[in-house]
């Protein structure tokens, strides 16, 4: 059972000072006009390793004992968590073994290798990669660092929200990409502690919608998956994260793949930002008017990562020019 608290997030925020980038909080005039709201972007796409995931990875690895560190760490990831773990392990001089699915983008695999981790490509999706990583953890004795079902990981990811709210504490709605659930659970924990009235809304794509259906039914629901530009949100969720989210998250919405592509192009054109599909889903929802009840309200959306293959992004930009 997960038991992350606001205190854990505040402590993580203090401990991560100087280790992570305090990313910009930018008011978007263009998106505010399109959405009819006062819209701000938290630019975790400018974070070290190219995504927010490094926050949780650093926080988790700092919590491990010397004995655990000596055995090395292992994780499974669609790519961004893997880079965060590889980076955090490299700072500690710790051996890291990373398992990614075949669908992981080349830019993310290159980032993992850059930080000195050992990379294994296994499985057609995150769930298969994770199962293999658990097997290897049993065989090698390495400490498994879960991408989202972990109090220390969630506390680290929650510092994204705390950092934004310390700068602008009066947001009415916070829109968060929902993958495994570490980010949305962390941000919701921080946000609700500061302002219980704030609404926290998760965004997924129709290609990977486990949060959408499980949240509505209050239990884990099997769904069908298909290829998605938002590869970082691709995969199943756990009972622990669902139970926590049901207490503190207000809603989960879905966007179409075409809208994600348009949002990636829009961010490049309007703000000169290189953003992966997972990081653009909140912008996609706002551009399409998918989020109700925000007219005239102050809205924060998390732009969570920048690890997209340059060639893929170039093709998307060319498509809409």
User: Which residues belong to the active site?
Assistant: 53, 304
What burial letters (b/e) apply to 18-40, b meaning 16+ CB within 10 Å? eebeebebbebeebbebbebbbb
Strand order from edge to edge, sheet including 173-177: 25-27, 38-43, 298-303, 173-177, 199-205, 251-255
| Separation CA 212–CA 288 (nearest Å) | 18
**What are the residues facing 208 on neighbouring strands?**
205
| Separation CA 136–CA 115 (nearest Å) | 21
Token match 């990313």: residue?
23
Contact 197, 270 (CB under 8 A): no
| Separation CA 238–CA 221 (nearest Å) | 10
Contact 255, 278 (CB under 8 A): no
CA distances from 318 to 47, 266, 288 (A): 26, 12, 21
Q: In a 3-state reduction of DSSP, which class is residue 161?
A: helix
Smallest CA-to-CA distance from 181 within 224, 149, 205 is with 149
**What is the DSSP secondary-structure string of 249-282?**
--EEEEE-HHHHHHHHHHHHHHH-----HHHHHH
Token match 């854990």: residue?
8
Please, what is the angle between helix 151-167 and helix 6-15, to 10°? 80
| Separation CA 88–CA 70 (nearest Å) | 14
β-bridge pairing 199-205 and 173-177: parallel
| Lookup: tokens for 84 | 């965060």
């Amino acid at each position: 059972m997960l038991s992350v608290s606001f205190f854990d997030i505040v402590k993580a925020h203090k401990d991560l000072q100087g280790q992570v980038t305090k990313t910009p909080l930018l008011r978007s005039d263009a998106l505010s006009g399109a959405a009819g709201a006062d819209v701000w972007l938290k630019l975790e796409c400018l974070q070290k390793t190219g995504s927010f995931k490094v926050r949780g990875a650093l926080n988790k690895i700092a919590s491990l004992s010397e004995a655990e560190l000596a055995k090395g760490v292992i994780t499974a990831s669609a790519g961004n968590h893997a880079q965060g773990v590889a980076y955090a392990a490299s700072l500690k001089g710790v051996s890291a073994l990373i398992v990614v699915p075949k669908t992981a983008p080349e830019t993310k695999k290159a980032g993992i290798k850059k930080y000195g981790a050992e990379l294994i490509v296994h499985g057609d999706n995150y769930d298969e990669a994770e199962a293999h990583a658990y097997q290897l953890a049993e065989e090698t004795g390495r400490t498994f660092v879960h991408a989202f079902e972990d109090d220390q990981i969630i506390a680290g990811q929650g510092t994204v929200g705390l950092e934004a709210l310390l700068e602008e504490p009066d947001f009415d709605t916070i829109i968060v990409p929902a993958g495994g659930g570490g980010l949305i659970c962390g941000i919701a924990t921080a946000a609700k502690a500061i302002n219980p009235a704030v609404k926290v809304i998760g965004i997924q794509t129709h290609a990977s919608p486990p949060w959408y259906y499980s949240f509505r039914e209050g239990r884990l629901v099997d769904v069908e998956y298909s290829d998605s530009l938002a590869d970082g949100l691709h995969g199943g969720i756990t009972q622990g994260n669902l139970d926590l989210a049901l207490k503190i998250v207000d809603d989960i919405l879905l966007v179409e793949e075409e809208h994600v592509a348009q949002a990636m192009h829009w961010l490049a054109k309007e703000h000169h930002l290189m953003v992966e599909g997972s990081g653009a889903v909140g912008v996609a929802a706002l551009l399409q008017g998918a989020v109700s009840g925000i007219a005239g309200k102050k809205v924060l959306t998390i732009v969570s990562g920048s690890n997209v293959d340059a060639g893929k992004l170039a093709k998307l930009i060319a498509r809409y020019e």
